[in-house]
A and B are shown apart, each in its own frame.
Chain A
Amino acid sequence: MHLHKYEKIWLIFGIGSLALFLVVLGFGAFWKGTHPQSHGATIDPENIEAHDAFQSENLGLTKVDEDKYIVNIAASAFNYDMGVDEDGNPVKKITIPKGSTVLFQITTKDVVHGFNVSGTNVNMMVEPGYISRMETVMKKPGEYTVVCNEYCGVGHHLMYATVEVTE
């Protein structure tokens, strides 16, 4: 089979750039640990309370150390359950100081949901039977909209929360 000289140059350049690109991705993933969330932690979707993190008193924001927080969330159509405040009202907004490390842990009681802290890399599928988990450092102050970005039913667009990062 004949390859035109220019086509050879074109393909060598193209395949070379591709190889370089894949090395960059691989370096990030395996050496820098930037894999997308995948840890395969399972849970019984009909009994998520069996897991400590999703018992009602542990939902929402917990400070575990100086500048270290955990946010536990139980998703269901069409709500993110982040526990209740002192007055017994459901929490819809969590506030975290700038520069803290936050571990988001979320699971679903029913159908597939999404969990995206818009404007950040915290973007996970939430599937029945699995715990989705991602740790991040909230560097920029501001108000972030948390949206369910996987279709979960007629009230999908009403499933949201807010994360506020304060100075």
Chain B
Amino acid sequence: MAIKKTMSIVHITPKQFPITKKEARLYMAFISVAFISLFIGGLMGLLQTLVRSGTITLPWGIDYYQVLTVHGVILALVLTTFFIIGFQFALMGKTVGISMKQRKAAWISFWVMLIGTMMTATMILLGKASVLYTFYAPLQAHPLFYIGLALVIVGSWVAGIVNFRQVYVWKRANPDEKSPLLAFMVTINMIMWIIASLGVAVAVLVQFIPWSLGYAETINVLVSRTLFWYFGHPLVYFWLLPAYMAWYAIIPKIIGGKIFSDSLARLSFILFLFFSIPVGFHHQLTEPGIDPVWKFIQVVLTFMVVIPSLMTAFSLFATFEITGRKKGFGGLFGWFRHLPWKDIRFLAPMLGMLAFIPGGAGGIINASHQMNAVVHNTMWVTGHFHLTVATTVMLTFFGVSYWLIPHLTGRKLTPTMNKLGIIQSIIWIVGMAIMSGSMHIQGLLGGPRRSSYSEYGGTEQAADWLGYQIAQAIGGTILFIGILLMVYIVIKLAFFAPTGKEAFPIAEEEADAKPTPKFMENWKLWIGITVLLILFAYTVPFIDIIQHSPPGSPPFDWPIGNQ
């Protein structure tokens, strides 16, 4: 009994830090850019579906691919990165605190990222950078497009370094305690982000910028693509892990439960760090210049993320069931029926989680070595990431916004806003089911992604695709209504909702939870294993790519519409 008592003392609620007005302004700055991006990017998405369904043609000489570049860059890169960094700063500020110096450094990261975004956006709007967000060489954009992208990445590194400093300072003040779970998770995500974005930074700084400025005559196309995808896959986990943070450590509090297991949550994040990066070849499976054995090895490494994903699914549903049963909802599914479905802070992320079941299954198909040829670069892929990032991740971010924004602005999430949120989530799911569903089917029928309206010489296949493109326009229109509603809700919560105190929900462990092992915070070990896995997966094939390089490619800027 005596032991039990000391244990319960160890598990006293960890101290939390109140968020001051100045800190709130910082977090809100990031989040505001994210929602402005949502509006602009969503409008572009609507235009795309309308053009592709043959409903409209774009006025004033605007090109479909210019619109598509805006859509990809502003949603996949700008919205996500700004929201994630703002959200993560808020989590860190709440759990480990932020000093004045750290806050100022965080503002530097914000401005560097914003200036970079503006430079890139200007070049896209001038029609000098219609290269899509993957900017594959040897299509050449204006140098400022690449310089702007580099600044966004450098700004995000500053944010990461501030996060590391925050944990370090907290740890020094609390040497005997484990770092708060959310701070641990943010640290993992930023370590992964920095290691991964080094790849694209090297491509942009060493290859693209000198080549676009004319200092280098040619570019090694395959090296640039390999560096891009070394970054491109962990990028999707950089989007996903903040959603997991909310699922693991915030949702349990909202439903009135506890964290299922602190150690398992940490372990799954460590596994995501290991297996997010050495896997980029699964985006390059149909490329001619990479050895198939190494493609296969990276496919196997890719599938290792199945393990932490299964752990996550188990933990979340275990929390749901334990919480429900404690409240007295018995039966096989009573606990499930009695989840707080009418609380938007729960409903939106929960719908996101459910969308991840088909989303993840589709991902398994995409990465399956041979099966990839059936879907590579078809609309199926577009359908896939509209389920994962645009549903799972976005609905979770919306779910966070319903309490985070009023918490930061000193307002309340009112019942009316809660109801509007529920309507918004339903609109999103319905719109996405129609849009993403028809994208998946069109892809299986061979319809290409990233393409403007075309009848392809009037073939029967192309006529079949058009029906699904019309369905996408219907789904896209419903989704745009969802975006308008979301933007309205955000404006209301930020400026007009009644003043008050909205809770910042952070879940705790059970009083009798088993202690988390110390080695969980052995950062040198985790980073060391990550680097070894990357070296294992990339060294031999990368040397092979360089040794068997064909002559490089000169820049091509006319195909993107430059005269």
Contacts and interface: CB of A to CB of B under 8 A. Distances in A.
Interface in A42-56: 42-46
A129 B222 contact: yes
A60 interface: no
A4 B311 CA distance: 11
Given A123-B286, A123-B377, A156 B550 contact: no
A129 B551 contact: yes
A6 B321 CA distance: 13
Contact of A114 (B369, B372, B448, B551): B448
A119 B222 CA distance: 27
Contacts of B560: 153-154
A101 interface: no
B517 A36 contact: no
A107 B130 CA distance: 23
Given A1-B267, A4-B318, A25-B368, A157 B461 contact: no
A141 interface: no
B547 to A, nearest CB: 10
Contacts of A68: none
Interface in B273-325: 284-292, 295-296, 299-300, 303, 306-307, 310-311, 314, 318
B211 to A, nearest CB: 14
Q: Which of A15, A30, A46, A114 has the most CB of B within 10 A?
A: A114
Given A127-B288, A143-B460, A22 B300 contact: yes
B446 A147 contact: yes
A127 B373 CA distance: 16
Nearest to A134: B373
Q: Is the interface of A mostly helix, strand, loop or mixed?
A: loop
B221 interface: yes
A128 B140 CA distance: 14
Interface string B118-145: 0000000000001010001111000000
Given A10-B314, A112-B136, A152-B559, A25 B369 contact: yes
B559 A154 contact: yes
A160 B457 contact: yes
Given A2-B263, A37-B286, A123-B286, A162 B296 contact: no
Contacts of A21: 303
A153 B561 contact: yes
B63 interface: yes
Given A127-B221, A129-B550, A22 B446 contact: no
Contacts of A22: 300, 303
B139 A153 contact: yes
Q: Which of B287, B318, B368, B462 has the most CB of A within 10 A?
A: B287
Contacts of B290: 38, 40
Contacts of B556: 77, 110-111, 153
Given A123-B286, A144-B461, A29 B292 contact: yes
Contacts of B450: 149-151, 156
9 closest A-B pairs by beta carbon, nearest first, are A153-B559, A129-B550, A118-B446, A149-B448, A157-B454, A42-B550, A35-B292, A149-B377, A130-B288
24 contacts: A7-B264, A7-B318, A11-B310, A15-B306, A18-B307, A25-B370, A28-B369, A29-B296, A29-B370, A36-B286, A38-B292, A40-B290, A77-B556, A116-B377, A116-B448, A123-B377, A125-B287, A125-B376, A127-B289, A145-B457, A149-B376, A151-B136, A156-B450, A157-B454
